[in-house]
């Protein structure tokens, strides 16, 4: 098996030296790098607002997944990193419930001291299935 490393058209570019996702066509899997609340021009969306940043991180994740033939409803695992778990539970967990209303994928939530930029509050990474036709 081999992996193909990709970026995502229209999504925020990675902050560091990494690809937006790794696609494993033979396994029909995509491993999406952590997505944060940056718009396509690299500006922070929703400064100080955990829910707004969570929504933008998922919009960026959606763009990455769709660029390789996957979708949010094909996500099989998420990992979410937050700088304030209480704020996440109070406001942003509702965003995840909205995006995954039925049969939500397994997820891990981790509180950390900081993300790659001090104004960022949340980062979401995921593993998703790719539609069969797109995996080739």
Closest Cα to residue 100, out of 66, 64, 71? 71
Distance CA 76, CA 114 (A): 26
Question: Which one is predicted more confidently, 134 or 22?
Answer: 22
Give residue 46's pLDDT: 98
Sign of CA dihedral 73, 110, 116, 44: positive
CATH 3.30.1330.40 corresponds to the domain 4-135: yes
Query: Residue 21: pLDDT band by 50, 70, 90 thresholds?
Result: confident
The model's pTM is 0.86
Give residue 25's pLDDT: 77
Mean per-residue pLDDT over the chain, rounded: 89
Q: What are 53-76's pLDDT values in tens digits? A: 999 999 999 999 999 999 999 999
In terms of DSSP bridges, do strands 21-24 and 75-82 run parallel, antiparallel, or are they unpaired? unpaired
């Amino acid at each position: 098996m081999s992996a193909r490393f990709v970026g995502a058209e229209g999504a925020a570019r990675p902050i560091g030296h990494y690809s937006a996702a790794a696609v494993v066509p033979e396994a029909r899997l995509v491993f999406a790098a952590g997505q944060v609340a940056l718009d396509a021009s690299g500006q922070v969306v929703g400064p100080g607002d955990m829910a707004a940043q969570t929504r933008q991180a998922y919009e960026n994740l959606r763009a990455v997944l769709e660029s390789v033939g996957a979708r949010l409803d094909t996500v099989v695992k998420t990992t979410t990193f937050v700088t304030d778990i209480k704020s996440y539970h109070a406001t942003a967990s509702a965003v995840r419930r909205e995006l995954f209303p039925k049969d939500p994928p397994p997820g891990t939530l981790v509180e950390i001291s900081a993300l790659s930029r001090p104004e960022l509050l949340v980062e979401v990474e995921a593993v998703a299935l790719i539609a069969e036709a797109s995996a080739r």
